[in-house]
Amino acid sequence: MNIDSSQPGPRDAADEPTDVNLEGPLSLESTDFLHGRIRDLETQLQLLQTELSSAHDRPYRNRLPATRQSITHKFEIGHHEGYITVGLYEDGRPGEVFLGGAQK
C-alpha cells in the first residue's frame, strides 16, 4: 500500500490533545476535535476504497507450480525444425510458452 504524505492521513498520538474529556459534557473544543477526526477518518477511508478498487484492475502474478503439465508440438517450416512448449497451470490455463528451433 502506498501512502502519499501530501494527503490527509492518520494522526500521530502526539498530535491529539490530551485534555479532551469524553466522560463529561462535551465542550466546543472537544466536539471540533471529534468532527475533525471523523473527517480525517472519512478521507482515509475514501483513499483506501479507491486504492482497493484500483488494485482489482491491476495485473498480478500467479506463479506456476514447480512441477506442471506441458504440451510440446514439433513443427517444420521449410528446412527448419522447431518446437513449441506450453506450460500449464493446474486448471489447464497456459502459463508459459517456449519456442525453440534447430536447422536441419
**Where on the phi/psi map is residue 53: left (φ > 0), alpha (ψ -120 to 50), or beta?**
alpha
Q: Let me know if residue 7 belongs to a domain.
A: no
Q: Let me know if residue 51 belongs to a domain.
A: yes
48-104 pLDDT, tens digit per residue, is 988 888 777 777 788 999 999 999 999 998 888 999 999 999 999 999 999 998 766
13-52 pLDDT, tens digit per residue, is 555 555 555 566 667 777 888 888 999 999 999 999 888 8
pLDDT of residue 1: 47
Q: Let me know if residue 5 belongs to a domain.
A: no
Q: Let me know if residue 1 belongs to a domain.
A: no
Query: Of 33, 38, 41, which Cα lies nearest the Cα of 9?
Result: 41
Answer yes or no: do 21 and 47 share one domain: yes
Query: How many structural domains is the chain composed of?
Result: 2
CA angle 10, 13, 27 (to 5 degrees): 95
Domain that holds residue 93: 70-103
